[in-house]
A and B are shown apart, each in its own frame.
Chain A
């Protein structure tokens, strides 16, 4: 069976490299450094799951990507894991007026490698 694919989106190249090393043990890993690259990569070839940082160039760039994914028929079913340095409460505060949180899991950095693998394993079945 072919490996499932993960798109890892984060603007910190070192973090991306470290997490990639973990994910590569089970998945085919692609990476993007910002929201624009992420959407382009998904449009080119939809991954099985997306792991998103929240704050990149813009404060809530990760959420923008997640919303774009959920708004499109083609990408609606792709599970989304937020993996980010800010806590969920802060994000909810920034998103005041937004009752729709378009993600499946919220993990705060730093996350233990086994936790990340377990979360992805659960979402991908």
Chain B
């Protein structure tokens, strides 16, 4: 089997394997050389033809070039430039030299009657495993031709036994069959194994890629979890502080530290009431977030949701807030930005959150621009302000629960730290995402990108990993 269309890495794996096999081949050859020497020494003494003693010549040749190969192998291993094609060529040359030695051996030990004839099949097996059936068929042909020339050419003087021509022809025929079948059978088994090896390698490669991907995801999740628990701790403060204020105010009033009829008492009661309101907002947002995460929207999915209309409604509703804060609320809408599917109350909640944030973090005299436009397959709602901006180091945590930038905290006590987490959840439930850009002290831009045709078709938790929230700073 040839390694066509395989990856470079696969080639490398096969090259490494081939190198191992060459090493094994070299070890085997030491044994063969030693055995030949022993044979050369013993043959004449046990009644075999005296001429067979000349086999030592072949043994010395074999051992000599094996020593060279042994040295070369060490260099190849070190050089690490194990190119498959090149190694295959080296293997072929080795096999050719071996076979030439074997032909010489057969020639020296009786030709058609040589006891070494079966060793040809041995080389065919090794060659077919290491190289290819095609190459080895050609090699087998060459070997057979060499044998035929030797057996039939009447090169008698070199110890060939006097065998009749028909017998020699029969041996040649059997040799042809043996060589051919050996290559064929070995190839059948070896190519199946090789195919399996390639498949296994590919699987392993895939597995490696998947594992790496999973590890990356896991690391991401760990990081998110760590940030979440950090903000959960912050939330303890967010919840406990107003509660503590309420409790202390009530204690102070109940224990008579303040005259109940005094304006100060009224102030404490009002303050406590405000804190309770804030707590209710936090609890409300927490419930909202939990509901979204449980995929239990407040309203069912609706088809044909007009994003521009939702934005107009939100902008109208928030105009009094903008006026009260002396902020200009501008808007521009593409008329035909319609989502195939959506949950209008959730989208409205998200849009309101973004516009309200923009108003909240703007300075009096500033402007907030709301734009709805079509961008390819997405409906885009953009809210741009000229407000206090977001510190760059905080952008990554912007959409994490209870995260509030210090400058936001300073700017206004109002805010649960949950709004943007909800916006993100709504965007993802609609198969979209939310982006933020900001320059500190110059303003922020939030962009809600919702696919026009890609409303949710499956459980959001399944596809969550495919969606990314991108937060980047300019």
Contacts and interface: CB of A to CB of B under 8 A. Distances in A.
Nearest to B242: A12
A92 interface: no
Contacts of A18: 245, 248-249, 251-252, 268, 271
Interface string A72-101: 000000000000011100100100000000
Contacts of A90: 233, 236
Nearest to A87: B236
Given A19-B248, A86-B236, A109 B268 contact: no
Interface string A43-81: 000000000000101110000000000000000000000
A6 to B, nearest CB: 15
Of A14, A58, A87, the most chain B CB neighbours within 10 A belong to A14
For the side of the interface on B, what is the size category? 20 to 34
Contact of A113 (B255, B264, B267, B271): B255
Contact of B272 (A14, A21, A57, A58): A14
Contacts of B267: 14, 17
B237 A85 contact: yes
Contacts of B406: 57-58
Given A21-B264, A110-B248, A14 B274 contact: yes
B410 interface: yes
Contacts of A93: 233
B271 A17 contact: yes
Interface residues of A, number: 24
Interface string B260-277: 000010011001101100
Contacts of A42: none
B240 A15 contact: no
Contact of B251 (A14, A25, A112): A112
B87 to A, nearest CB: 56
B307 to A, nearest CB: 37
A110 B268 contact: no
B268 to A, nearest CB: 6
B233 A15 contact: no
Interface string B109-152: 00000000000000000000000000000000000000000000
B264 A17 contact: yes
B243 interface: yes
A19 B236 CA distance: 21
Contacts of A41: none
A57 B272 CA distance: 21
Contact of A21 (B233, B243, B258): B258
B241 A109 contact: yes
Contacts of A112: 251
A57 B410 contact: yes
Interface of B: 233-234, 236-237, 240-245, 247-249, 251-252, 255, 257-258, 264, 267-268, 271-272, 274-275, 406, 409-410
What 5 A-B pairs are tightest by C-beta distance, nearest first? A14-B271, A109-B244, A110-B247, A110-B244, A85-B240
Given A55-B237, A87-B236, 14 more contacts: A14-B245, A14-B249, A14-B274, A17-B264, A18-B251, A19-B248, A21-B257, A21-B258, A22-B252, A85-B241, A86-B240, A90-B236, A109-B241, A110-B248
Interface of A: 12-15, 17-19, 21-22, 25, 55, 57-59, 85-87, 90, 93, 109-113
19 contacts: A12-B241, A14-B271, A14-B274, A17-B271, A18-B252, A18-B271, A19-B252, A21-B264, A55-B241, A58-B406, A85-B244, A86-B233, A87-B236, A90-B233, A109-B240, A109-B241, A109-B244, A110-B244, A111-B248
